[in-house]
Amino acid sequence: MDFTALCNSIFGRAIADYHKADHVDTPIFNPYPPQDIEAYLYLKNWIDTVQWHLEDIIRDPAIDPVEALAIKRRIDKSNQDRTDLVERIDSYFLDKYKEVKPLPGATINTESPAWAIDRLSILALKIYHMQQEAARSDCEPEHRARCQEKLRVLTEQQADLSTAIGQLLDDIAAGRKYMKVYKQMKMYNDPSLNPILYGKK
């Protein structure tokens, strides 16, 4: 199984596992050994799946403002966890390809492998939920038809992105491209960099 097929399989498993209870407070039971790349991929998609549903909940026009603020704080933490995990996945690739010598003329990609995999994880969620919409029995046929067409596009996009990530990894392994990873350096969560936070001291 190539790497993107592995990703898509694990993302599908995480999404299915979450929806057994379908609740944002469902505990995660990661089935993979903690330091394996499979465990990182499962956790990555689990974080994305929980956040997907938090984003749904916070858009309820009747939501209590106190609850909305608590969810916003939770989404902020989720975004930081997601970023940290993407950087951990990139560290896996940096280590995997550390002995590869870039060829003369090797180029850098616009995004690292892990950030492309981040998009693949979100696509898996879009596909799952669009499938749910396309199969709804409580809506008009026109709604289902529109969703079926969107599902077709999303599935095509997933195939294209999977191919592109596979090609990128092949190019890095062969030295045609090289990895250069920049940390996100998010400032709003850092008490020493966010003026609202350090100004309150």
For every residue of 112-152, DSSP letters joined together read -HHHHHHHHHHHHHHHHHHHHHHT-SSS-HHHHHHHHHHHH
* pLDDT for res 194: 80
- Among 1-5, 178-182, 185-189, 190-194, the range scoring the smallest mean pLDDT is 185-189
* pLDDT for res 199: 80
194-201 average pLDDT score: 75
Identify the CA nearest to 125 among candidates 39, 30, 33, 8: 8
Amino acid letter at 44?
Answer: K
Contact 15, 44 (CB under 8 A): no
The position carrying tokens 């995990």 is 85
* pLDDT for res 201: 55
Domain count, the chain: 1
pLDDT > 90? residue 198: no
Q: What value does the mean pLDDT of the chain take?
A: 94
63-79 average pLDDT score: 96
Q: How many Å apart are CA 14 and CA 6, to the nearest integer?
A: 12
* pLDDT for res 113: 97
Q: How many Å apart are CA 196 and CA 201, to the nearest integer?
A: 9
Contact 43, 35 (CB under 8 A): no
Identify the CA nearest to 5 among candidates 36, 38, 43, 30: 38
pLDDT > 60? residue 110: yes
pLDDT > 70? residue 200: no
Q: How many Å apart are CA 50 and CA 118, to the nearest integer?
A: 14
pLDDT > 90? residue 75: yes
Which tokens in the block code for residue 140? 């008009």
- Structural domain including 30 reads 3-198
**Statement: the pTM of the whole predicted model exceeds 0.85:** yes
pLDDT > 80? residue 107: yes
* pLDDT for res 116: 97
Identify the CA nearest to 14 among candidates 24, 33, 28: 28
